[in-house]
Structure 1
Amino acid sequence: MKIIGIGKNYVNDKSEIAGIKTGHQLIFLKAESTLVTNNKDIEFPKITNQLIYEVELVAKIGKQGKDIAESDAASYISEIGIGIDYTAKDVLSASRENKGPWALAKGFDGASPVNGFKPVSNFPDLNDINFSLTINGEEKQSGNTSDMIYNFVEIIAFVSKYMTLEPGDLIFTGTPASGAGQNVKGDHLQASVEGELLLDFKLV
């Protein structure tokens, strides 16, 4: 099972999309061991002092596919859930100083909590899904998929040019352009899709 992420994929103003959209999507992979499910609390990682949260919708792949056409890509999504793409910013900064990869900064245990997967049929318009994140009762991020630079089908078509998508693969599709920030031990995170609370855990 692969965990695939896409970076820098939302704008605050839809008018920005045309100028940004070059076709070169920013894709990265996360280790399967980053995954945390069933709203389990997460032990604050010892490897970082700068734990950065990003709430994202997560597409689950339902069937195998390679070189998928955009016109067919939606049929490869079986479910949609919500998760947090965590980054150890200090680890990332140290890696970047040596022109290194993102692997350790994105691939530590607990870096991908997800929950609340619903059949894709529950979402009649993939380009109009609302989601949000609150921390300790205060809303920190909110977004709508209409603000994506690359939408679900464009991501799937692009990724499948390079790697075969398999049933159960998860694609983190990007975070709203504003509101990502730093977590501390004890924070309580709650993420919702269309107003329904689906992800609910604490950093302990």
Structure 2
Amino acid sequence: MASGLSRFVELGRKIVCVGRNYSEHAAELGNKVPTEPVIFLKPTTSYLKEGNAITFPHGSDNLHHEVELGVVIGKPGFQIRESTAMEHIGGYTLALDMTARDIQDKMKKKGLPWTLAKGFDSSCPIGSFIPPDKIPDPHDIEIWLKVNDAMKQQGNTKNMIFKVPFLISFISQFMTLETGDLILTGTPSGVGPVSPGDVITCGLTGLATMTFTVNK
């Protein structure tokens, strides 16, 4: 199954994202720390593989980086119990949740969904598939991001507000998680803008790195 899941970009039918899952990140954007997960979706057309450029979406001049641990679903399920949730993990990946902050802020002020700010083409750059045996504990991984070699984000997944088994269980109370689906588990503090020509490098220490350029 793991070998087949290396094609999760083609197999998966949805990208389920968790917002504000690190308290310091919630605070830096002026948001309250959530009491239950904040969930939104990206379409699979937002996937971007290395070798391709991140592109600003239409109407945006304020594009932000957010580095995240991605969880690839290996076994489908609905209303999964938290106690068995880890059995549904097929692997992991490194991902970016690129966010058009100006569009998001405008939508938030109007009480409207964030879809256009989060789901545009190239908004979900991803790295290679990481087999589950390479990450025995997803809650103790250093995660970091640099822009033009300057460190911008550096955190650890142990600081997630909601842990991976809880997220899988919570999401699956509402929607079936299918083989190849991706869950983005949130970003640590330090998010900020990128400009055309910038180079983003990010990683899960000892596990994965990836690099993308930014175009207008």
So what's the TM-score if we normalise by structure 2? 0.85
> Following the alignment from structure 1 to structure 2, what is the Cα–Cα distance between the partners of residues 194 and 81?
12
Aligned to 1:47: 59
Given the superposition, is the C-alpha separation of residues 132 and 2 from structure 1 closer, same or farther in structure 2, using an over 3 Å criterion? same
The alignment covers a number of residue pairs equal to: 196
1:61 correspondence with 2:63: no
What letter matches 1:152 in structure 2? Answer: V
1:145 Cα deviation after fit: 1.1
5+ residue gaps, structure 2, are 1-12, 25-32
Equivalent in the alignment of 1:70: 82
Structure-1 residue corresponding to 2:200: 189
Matched, 1:98 2:110: yes
**Corresponding position: 1:203 with 2:187:** no
Q: Distance in 2 between matches of 1:90 and 1:168?
A: 31
Q: Residue 41 of structure 1 contacts residue 202 of structure 1 at CA under 8 Å; is this kept in 2?
A: yes
- 8 Å contact from structure 2 (residues 54, 123) kept in 1: no
Q: How many angstroms does 1:9 deviate by?
A: 0.4
Aligned residue for 1:29, secondary structure, equals: strand
Q: C-alpha root-mean-square deviation of aligned residues, in Å? A: 1.7
Q: How many angstroms does 1:34 deviate by?
A: 0.9
1:79 aligns with 2:91: yes
Q: Distance in 2 between matches of 1:93 and 1:126?
A: 31
Runs of 4+ in 1 over 6 A off after TM superposition: none
Pick from 26, 38, 43 the counterpart of residue 26 of structure 1: 38
Shift in CA distance, 196/126, structure 1 to aligned 2, threshold 3 Å: closer
Q: Which residue of 1 aligns with 2:128?
A: 116
* Aligned-pair CA distance for 1:21: 6.5
Supply the distance in 1 between the matched residues of 2:80 and 2:99 (Cα, whole angstroms): 29
* TM-score, normalising length: structure 1: 0.90
The answer (yes or no) to whether the contact 1:131–1:195 under 8 Å persists in 2 is no
Q: Is the 8 A contact 2:147 2:198 kept in 1?
A: yes
**Distance (Å, rounded) in 2 between the aligned partners of 1:107 and 1:36:** 12
Selected match of 1:152 from 164, 184, 200: 164
Alpha carbons 2:17, 2:183 under 8 Å: kept: yes
1:85 Cα deviation after fit = 0.5
The 1-side partners of 2:207 and 2:72 are apart by 19
Inter-partner Cα distance in structure 2 for 1:63 and 1:39: 30
> How many angstroms does 1:121 deviate by?
1.1
Q: Which runs of 5+ in 1 are unaligned?
A: 13-19
Secondary structure, in 3 states, of the residue corresponding to 1:143? strand
How many angstroms apart in 1 are the aligned matches of 2:48 and 2:206? 22
